[in-house]
Amino acid sequence: MLTTIALASLKRRKHTALLTLLSITISVCLLLTVDIVRTQVKTSFTRTVSGVDLIVGAPSGQLNLLLSSVFNVGTPSKGIPWNSVASLESNKQVAWIIPLSLGDTHKGFRVIGTNNQFFTHFKYGDKQALAFAHGSNFTQPLSTVVGADIAQTLGYKVGDKIVISHGLGNVSFNNHDTHPFVIAGVLEKTGTPVDKAVYVTLEGLEKAHSHQAGGKNSSMRSISKPKLDEHEHEHEHEHEHDENNVTEHNATEIRYNSNEFAPQQVSVVMLGLKNRVTALQLQYQLNQNNDTPLMAILPGMALAELWQIMGNIEALLLGLSSIIVISALVGLATMLLASMRERYQEIAVLRTIGAGPFTLLLLIQLEALFITLVSLILSVVLVAGLITAIKPWLSSEYGLFITGQLFGQSSAIIGSLVLVSTYIVSLFPAIAAYRRGLHAGLNSK
């Protein structure tokens, strides 16, 4: 019966009730959206790199090693000798390695020297493998693969030539223009730092650096390459003079094995283990190795530590959204208080038919809770529809991939807290109705 009376009372004040309903719905939508985006951003952040069990570099601090190898921010202080890399590769616990050489740029974007192992084993998100929107991986020593953002920003396509620069500045006067790289592939959008990186072969990178140093190639290690027959060798020679004609020399390019080149040193090595259980054991062994100073980190733990540093921003967003919700609930209490003078006659009638003061208190609270409950339902529907509609846009423009359930435990907690807050703020108008009911009569004005 109280529910019927509450709904009838709200219907008589429908314009005020609808405005209050709209105010609470907007504020709750904002709070739920912030919570969902916060959760999804955290999930995406912690899955920037997936399937890599260890990252090994020179001792420079866990976060510095993570930032330089995964986020392309900064660079390791020194490199790792290739004999240490070869030792890691021969370790019986290691399934594969990805060597990375850092320190060059192309028009402000990071250049990373690696081999085709990177495109085979590097994963992100829920162990999603890298895919090519156009072209393929390295097909010859001066091949390069560019991320989706670079291809879009600079208008690059397969077959274009690019020149890399030494150093990490946006403007460099030390360009390796004698060794231009030919784009062999363009990666699909990943929403990770991969989209803003240029990948070149370790062999081509060392050639460019050796020529810049004065054309001395004596510092380069011998390169083991598969032997080609006379016909294939002729095509390889032609390809060096006209690298744009990729399809004509496809047979030669397929035989290029970027994994066989051994540089003098690399900056970082990513490891995949045969059994992830051994990650902690191998990490301890590498960190305690006195022969060659190395530092091994677990990417998951390092990412969690980095996210904790950013936790203040997360708390600030939630705090601001919560204040907006509280303001809307205060508006609800104000609306109920403002209507009390109009309801004196209604309260007197209810008292005459036997409603006690406590019943009047419950009636006011029931009205407030009903408005908030409808607002919560509308907010869930609106947020779900909005997130579903803009999901492709978020992934293409901001690299935010919405995965899993939108509303989880945190959303349920938010809904419960909003209802509890409604009950608290509605106590003020409810107590006013209770006091009025103690001495209300039919002649009350």
pLDDT tens per residue across span 28-49: 998 888 888 888 877 777 778 8
Integer Cα distance of 410 and 35 in angstroms = 8
Residue entry with tokens 């028009």 = 107
Average pLDDT over residues 364-382: 91
Say which amino acid occupies 73: V
Rounded alpha-carbon distances, angstroms, from residue 88 to 98, 117, 309 = 11, 15, 32
- Using pLDDT thresholds of 50, 70 and 90, give the confidence band for residue 283: very high
- Using pLDDT thresholds of 50, 70 and 90, give the confidence band for residue 165: confident
* Alpha helices per DSSP H over 198-340: 202-212, 230-241, 250-254, 279-287, 299-309, 311-338
Task: Please state the domain count of the chain.
Answer: 2
Judge if 128 and 226 occupy the same domain.
Answer: yes
User: Does 175 score more than 70 pLDDT?
Assistant: no
Question: Of 251, 271, 297, which marks where a domain is finished?
Answer: 297
Which is more confident, 146 or 333? Answer: 146
User: Does 122 score more than 90 pLDDT?
Assistant: yes
Judge if 245 and 369 occupy the same domain.
Answer: no
Integer Cα distance of 112 and 200 in angstroms = 6
Integer Cα distance of 286 and 306 in angstroms = 22
DSSP string, 131-155: -EEEE-S--STTEEEE-HHHHHHHT
pLDDT tens per residue across span 394-415: 766 666 667 767 888 888 888 8
User: Does 196 score more than 80 pLDDT?
Assistant: yes
User: Does 249 score more than 80 pLDDT?
Assistant: no
Q: Could you tell me the pTM of the whole model?
A: 0.69
Question: Of 269, 297, 325, which marks where a domain is finished?
Answer: 297
Average pLDDT over residues 248-269: 73
Rounded alpha-carbon distances, angstroms, from residue 24 to 151, 264, 334, 346 = 44, 64, 13, 26
Judge if 13 and 79 occupy the same domain.
Answer: no
Judge if 90 and 13 occupy the same domain.
Answer: no
Judge if 60 and 34 occupy the same domain.
Answer: no
Judge if 66 and 36 occupy the same domain.
Answer: no
The predicted structure's pLDDT at residue 101: 93
List all residues 6 or more positions away from 215 whose beta carbon is below 8 Å from its beta carbon.
Answer: none
Question: Of 247, 263, 297, which marks where a domain is finished?
Answer: 297
The predicted structure's pLDDT at residue 398: 65
Judge if 29 and 61 occupy the same domain.
Answer: no
Instruction: Please report whether residue 306 resides in a domain.
Output: no
Instruction: Please report whether residue 302 resides in a domain.
Output: no
